[in-house]
Structure 1
Amino acid sequence: MILSRKLIVDFQVKDRKNRQGFFFVVSGPSGVGKNTLLNYALERVRGIYYLPSITTRPMRPGEAQGFPYFFVSKADFEAMIAQGAFLEWKQIHSGDYYGTHLPTILYALENGYDIITDMDVLGCVEVMERFPENVVPIFIAPPNMEELRQRLAGREKDAGVIAKRLERVAMEMSYAGKYRHVIINDDLERAGRELVKILREYSPE
């Protein structure tokens, strides 16, 4: 199934706003807790849709189509690249592709639906340039480097992988000033409430 024009989010008419949609983009270093905060906020804020990235990596136990990713074959992904179906995409060291689905974004913004996704800092810069009136960039920062190092060590046992991710942190942190909002994730409950407050500022229920 090639998703060049098909939407990957099931938008409900009741959530349509009488304005253009907002595109909330959450970024931050690996291990900072982006997905945990996103889950916290989306459980508490109605009417904002999570936009999954499209990937060619295999589905893992506990995952489903559309959460946390939309899974496709490499052949389909490459056909979608040729058809211009991605706002941005990348191929990582494993050979798997990841991309952000442009038709779903355009439909949401043009039809008054608010969407949210997590994206790396370079991808977010592209999005801000493409949709300057619609994008609300939110950066999640660690309280300090040692805390981030411990979080990464807790979820990844390969020291080489941890080292590579830490190498990226300085680059990623250098982009924080380009974001409209910065949340320091020193405490899940406090940082989660801050993210909920930001979302409700733009998308009141």
Structure 2
Amino acid sequence: MNEKVIIFSAPSGSGKTTLVKHCLQEFPDLAFSISCTTRNARGTETHGIDYHFISADEFRKKIGENAFVEFEEVYSDKYYGTLKSEVERIWATGKVVIFDVDVKGGISLKKYFGEKALSIFIMPPSVAELEMRLIARGTDDLETIKTRVEKATEEISFKNDFDEIVVNDQLEVAKNKIENLIKNFLAL
């Protein structure tokens, strides 16, 4: 298998992580790229499985070492990034890299990988529905949710920078559409 990547991006609360986990179950040739972040773990998130949780100072040191494919300072001192070593580790096993990243990260990854990448934007049914999902998730306070909803409105304006847009209003329909997109991409 040649070196390919699949990029999932979406506003927070769109169901992107649920869909990525589904793809990992359906396609044994995919391997999850574990991003780096300086934010604290949420809920049951585990270091080295969900994210590599590191300090802002350590993150900035890695930026200086040119260790990232892409990175973003999403909020002040809240960094997210993709380590080059993580992509190389997955490709060395002969698998396709799957990314679960924010919208700016997704656009950066698509620019970096070009034709090797399939980029998929997961669209919430509406911003109001997105807000309801974030509240129901119960991992953020209302101020954080308000910030995320404002950011989502901006992020949705970049949806056409992606190869495909999948509206996640019915999970099974979204899963089927994504499975077909990935099957076609892997067959190239």
Partner residue in 1 for 2:82? 100
- Bigger radius of gyration among the two: 1
Q: 1:164 to 1:63 in 2, by over 3 A?
A: closer
More helix by share: 2
My pick for the range that moved more, 177-186 or 141-150, is 141-150
Q: Is the 8 A contact 1:109 1:134 kept in 2?
A: no
Per the alignment, residue 159 of structure 1 pairs with 142
| Number of equivalent positions | 186
- 1:82 corresponds to which residue? 64
Distance change (3 Å), C-alpha of 1:187 and 1:116: same
Q: Which runs of 5+ in 2 are unaligned?
A: none
Contact 1:41 1:193 in 2 (8 A): no
Q: TM-score, normalised by structure 1?
A: 0.79
Instruction: Give the secondary-structure state (helix, strand or coil) at the position aligned to 2:135.
Output: helix
Number of the residue aligned with 2:5: 23
How is 1:26-175 mapped onto 2 (pairs within 5 angstroms)?
26-59=8-41, 62-93=44-75, 95-106=77-88, 108=90, 113-156=95-138, 158-175=141-158
Quick check: 1:203 aligned with 2:186? Answer: yes
Q: Which residue of 2 aligns with 1:12?
A: none
Q: CA deviation at 1:108?
A: 4.9
Question: CA offsets per residue over residues 151-204 of structure 1, 9 Å max, x none?
Answer: 122124633222211111222111111211111111112211222222222225
SS in 2 for 1:89: strand
For the residues of structure 1 that align with 2:58 and 2:101, how far apart are their CA atoms? Answer: 22
- Once the two structures are TM-superposed, the CA of residue 33 in structure 1 deviates from its matched residue by 0.6
CA gap of 1:126–1:61, structure 2 versus 1, over 3 A, is: closer
The answer (yes or no) to whether the contact 2:7–2:110 under 8 Å persists in 1 is: no
Structure 1, unaligned runs of 5 or more: 1-16
Structure 1 vs Structure 2 CA RMSD = 2.4
For 2:40 and 2:147, the matched residues in 1 are separated by: 23
Which among 191, 194, 200 is matched to residue 174 of structure 2?
191
Give the fraction of aligned pairs with identical amino acids, expressed as a percent. Answer: 31
Give the alignment's TM-score, normalised by structure 2.
Answer: 0.85
Cα distance in structure 2, aligned partners of 1:61 and 1:151 = 16
- Change over 3 Å in CA distance of 1:148–1:85 after alignment to 2: same
